[in-house]
Every structure is written in structure tokens, then in C-alpha cells.
Amino acid sequence: MKALICGGGIAGLALARCLGDHGWEVVVLEKADALRTQGYMIDFFGPGYTAAREMGLLPRLQELGYAVDALRYVDEEGRTRAGLSYERFGRAAGGHLISIMRPDLERALYESLPGKVDVRFGTGLTAVTHHPDGAAATLTDGTEVAADVVVGADGVHSAVRGLAFGADERYVRRLGFHTAAFVFEDPEIHAVGRRNFVLTDTTDRQMGFYSLRDGRVAAFAVHRSADPALPDDPRETLRREYGGLGWVVPRALRACPPGDEVYYDLVAQVEVPCWSQGHVTLVGDACYAVSLLAGQGASLGMAGAYLLAEQLAGAPSVGTALRRYEERWRPVVEEKQRAARRGVRWFLPGSQTELQARRLALRAARLPGVDRYVATALAGRTRGVLGRALR
Ligand SMILES: Cc1cc2nc3c(=O)[nH]c(=O)nc-3n(C[C@H](O)[C@H](O)[C@H](O)COP(=O)(O)OP(=O)(O)OC[C@H]3O[C@@H](n4cnc5c(N)ncnc54)[C@H](O)[C@@H]3O)c2cc1C
């Protein structure tokens, strides 16, 4: 059996790894020229953690991961106004939590690929066609690849979805925020973010930092914006939007690299009424992005890929496998999407009243009992999710 996977991110590489383990011939197309190096810190827990354990990846992820003591919200002077202990957060996730940079997670998956998986960097596709017993794609190098199944694991703006299912506007639900991430060098800010994820305690826009072991700092930013267009120059937009935040933010903005080294996108969810058309299917952000507000997209991408591979390897036909995959996984991701939309005000308060409410909730979270409630509200139901879907 053969799979053509478009997208060498977390979902695509996880699927390639699992199908390769099941003896499938796998071709992965990745439009970037090499593994992506830009990225942000991910809290990795829940069903993706379970999938990683099943794939034998946990030791490598733990090696690449970071120890985080706390999430701290600070004022203009850098004084802590509110916070959350990661130990509590981790306990709510059953102790199964790894903080890891997205590129490191992708690297671990890539390193684990069986030798027969053919990853073609710098390659995308221009057409997808349905065949009676499979599907085929025309690649950007002009060649055609036929397979038993073609999978779009190519993120929120999926090309496979665009070619086989229709334009973005039908499926992408914008949540009214823009987000950015970049990595830079500044020893002073590095000292601030060591073992702590430190964020500005602000309304409508916030910027946060985490110190990396190589001496650099990973910055993350999110601000409210209804603009559906992405800026031509992300660095310029960041300077305009965040320049007034105070504390170390102006220093970080001065150190921000040029636009093509900045990750910048709209915050959005993806809702596709039916994930498969014939032998063409979707996985990860391409069909069920939950958005960064849910803090679980990578986890759900990895677990969805694992589940899809198990169905493809075990079902009597590709059609049955694709049906079972969607039946079992759709309820899980829809619940996370709803939870993310409910949590918007918690994630980025829109007024001083909402900001104060978040501070009070985090203060209350230090009390025994309440701490578990708040941490569980953030992590969601994490235990047994993948196991139930596999049964
Ligand atoms: C700031 C931020 C913080 C986040 N924090 C967390 C967190 O704490 N925990 C968590 O679990 N999740 C988090 N997420 C979400 C998580 O990063 C995504 O859900 C996850 O990366 C989705 O993986 P994916 O493989 O489905 O898609 P993507 O990561 O988007 O990967 C898609 C891949 O396809 C490639 N591609 C795209 N188009 C084409 C094409 N036409 N041809 C070939 N290749 C193509 C891309 O280059 C990319 O490599 C966060 C997201 C953001 C933005």
C-alpha cells in the first residue's frame, strides 16, 4: 500500500512514521527546503503524548524538552502580577507534559522515520485527481505520483484541501487575533525567561518569552485584529502593535529578525464538514485546527495521525478506514474547538475587568482544590482520549 502525504509538519511526519512502521510505502512532500527552524514553545500533553509513547518517542522528546517552573504575567516593571505553577498544570495532565520547541518536535519525528519513507523537501503539489482505487497528485516538479491514499497534512491553509475540497473561506473560521513568534539573542531577556514562561499582563495584546538552552530567547506574541490580511512586513507590524507595551518588549522588538524569519499568521480554527473525498483525506490543522487558544493543536495533530494510520493499517478497505477515523476523532476535536472559543477572554483579556478577573482566578488557583480545577480547565480532559478512539 502507498500513501502520498502533503506536509512535513507534526501531523504529516507522525503519519509517515506510523504508516512506514506498518510497512506502507510513503512519500512526503514538504514545501520548505529543509526542516523548519522557526517556531515557538509548545506544551505537549494529552492524546499526542499518548501517541508519542506508543511510537517510542518519549525519551527523545524528554531530551529535547525544557523544564518550565511557572507561567508568570508581569507588569511594566517586570513584577509578577499573576501566575500558574507548571507543576500543578502538569499534575492535571496526569504528569504527562513536555514543553518543547515545535522545530524540535518535528526533528524528533523526522529522525524516527523508517529509511523507506521518501521525504521530498522544496516540493508541493498543483493538482489532485481521483482514481477508482486511489488518487494521484501532480507535483510542483511536474511529475505525477499515484497512491492508495493522498493525505493533506499541510496546515490551516492546506493546498490539498483547496484543490480537493474548495477554497479556504469555506472552512477557516478566524477568531479575531493575529499571532507571531520569533527567536532572538539578548542575554538580559534570557536571564528573565529562564525556566519561566513570562508574559506581559496586558489587554488586547501580549508578548511572552522563554529562554532556550542555546542562549537565545523564544518570543511569542498575540494581538486582537479583525484584519483578514497578513502584513507584508511582519517585523514592522510587530513594532507598531507591541511597541507601547513597556518592560523588555522594546528591546525584544529591536532584536526581532527580518520578516521571513518571523512566524506570523491569523489565529483560526478549521471546520470541514467531511474530512475525506474518495481516497483523499486530511489530518491535523488542515481539517481540524483548534487554534493556539486551545494549546493542543500539535497534540491532536500527532494523535489524529496515529489514529488514521492505525485505521488504514487495520481496516478492510481505505474507505472504511477513513470513515472510522473521522467517526472516532471528530467528536474529540470539536469539543476542543468549542472549549478554545469559550476560553478567549481567559487567553487574552479584552478589558481591565477581564484582566482583573484572570488575576483573581490565578490567585485562587493557589488554593488546594481550586488549583486542580483551574489546571484542569486549562488542560481539558486529557486522559484516555486516544485509547477510547482506538477501541
Ligand atoms: C504560537 C502558537 C503556539 C502554539 N502552542 C501550542 C501548544 O502549546 N500545544 C500544542 O499542542 N499546539 C500548539 N500550537 C498549535 C500547533 O503548533 C499546530 O496545531 C500544529 O503545528 C499543527 O500541525 P500540522 O502538522 O497539522 O500543521 P503545520 O504545523 O502547519 O504543518 C504543515 C506543514 O505542511 C507544509 N506545507 C504547507 N503547505 C504545503 C504545500 N502546499 N506543499 C507542501 N507542504 C506544505 C508546511 O511547510 C508545514 O511543514 C500552537 C500554535 C501557535 C501558532
226, part of any domain: no
Three-class SS of residue 12?
Answer: helix
Give yes or no for residue 137 CB within 6 A of ligand 1.
Answer: no
Task: Please give the distance, rounded to the nearest whole angstrom, from the Cα atom of residue 261 to the centre of ligand 1.
Answer: 16
Task: Please give the distance, rounded to the nearest whole angstrom, from the Cα atom of residue 360 to the centre of ligand 1.
Answer: 33
Give yes or no for residue 285 CB within 6 A of ligand 1.
Answer: yes
Bridging pattern class, strands 280-282 and 118-121: unpaired
Task: Please give the distance, rounded to the nearest whole angstrom, from the Cα atom of residue 285 to the centre of ligand 1.
Answer: 7
Q: Which atom of ligand 1 is nearest to the CA of 267?
A: 53
303, part of any domain: yes
Give yes or no for residue 124 CB within 6 A of ligand 1.
Answer: yes
Res 161: pLDDT: 98
Q: Which atom of ligand 1 is nearest to the CA of 46?
A: 11
Residue 71 host element (H or E): strand 70-74
Give yes or no for residue 211 CB within 6 A of ligand 1.
Answer: no
313, part of any domain: yes
Nine cell digits for residue 245: 507595551
Give yes or no for residue 35 CB within 6 A of ligand 1.
Answer: no
pLDDT along the chain (391 residues), means of 10: 98 98 98 92 95 98 94 92 84 86 97 96 98 96 98 98 94 96 96 91 96 95 95 96 95 94 96 98 98 93 98 97 98 94 88 92 73 62 80 84
Residue 128 host element (H or E): strand 125-131
Ligand 1, from 292, 300, 306: best to mutate by most atoms within 8 Å of Cβ?
A: 292
Give yes or no for residue 155 CB within 6 A of ligand 1.
Answer: yes
Task: Please give the distance, rounded to the nearest whole angstrom, from the Cα atom of residue 39 to the centre of ligand 1.
Answer: 9
Task: Please give the distance, rounded to the nearest whole angstrom, from the Cα atom of residue 9 to the centre of ligand 1.
Answer: 6
211, part of any domain: no
Distance from chain centroid for Cα 196: 20
> Which residue's CA is minimally distant from atom 49 of ligand 1?
9
> Which residue's CA is minimally distant from atom 37 of ligand 1?
154
Name the one residue in this structure whose C-alpha cell is 474518495.
Answer: 278
Res 84: pLDDT: 85
122, part of any domain: yes
77, part of any domain: no
Residue 216 φ/ψ, nearest 5 degrees: -85, 170
Tally the domains of the chain.
1
Q: Are 149 and 275 in contact (CB under 8 A)?
A: no
Give yes or no for residue 380 CB within 6 A of ligand 1.
Answer: no
239, part of any domain: no
Task: Please give the distance, rounded to the nearest whole angstrom, from the Cα atom of residue 10 to the centre of ligand 1.
Answer: 7
We report the CATH number of the domain holding residue 163 as: 3.50.50.60
Give yes or no for residue 46 CB within 6 A of ligand 1.
Answer: no
Q: Are 294 and 47 in contact (CB under 8 A)?
A: no
Q: Which atom of ligand 1 is nearest to the CA of 13?
A: 25
Beta bridge partners of 209: 198, 219
Three-class SS of residue 179?
Answer: strand
Task: Please give the distance, rounded to the nearest whole angstrom, from the Cα atom of residue 16 to the centre of ligand 1.
Answer: 16
Give yes or no for residue 32 CB within 6 A of ligand 1.
Answer: yes
Res 40: pLDDT: 93
> Which residue's CA is minimally distant from atom 40 of ligand 1?
124
Task: Please give the distance, rounded to the nearest whole angstrom, from the Cα atom of residue 20 to the centre of ligand 1.
Answer: 21
109, part of any domain: yes
Task: Please give the distance, rounded to the nearest whole angstrom, from the Cα atom of residue 79 to the centre of ligand 1.
Answer: 33
Q: Residue 26 sits in which domain range? A: 2-37+102-172+270-345+384-390
DSSP track, 265-327: EEEEEE--S-SEETTEEE-THHHH---TTTT-HHHHHHHHHHHHHHHHHHSSSHHHHHHHHHH
Q: Which atom of ligand 1 is nearest to the CA of 299?
A: 11
Q: Which atom of ligand 1 is nearest to the CA of 42?
A: 8
Residue 163 host element (H or E): helix 159-164
Residues in the chain: 391
CA distance 356 to 197: 20
The conformation of residue 194, written as its DSSP 8-state character, comes to: T
Res 85: pLDDT: 85
Q: Which atom of ligand 1 is nearest to the CA of 181?
A: 1
Closest by Cα among 91, 17, 40, 367 to 221 = 40
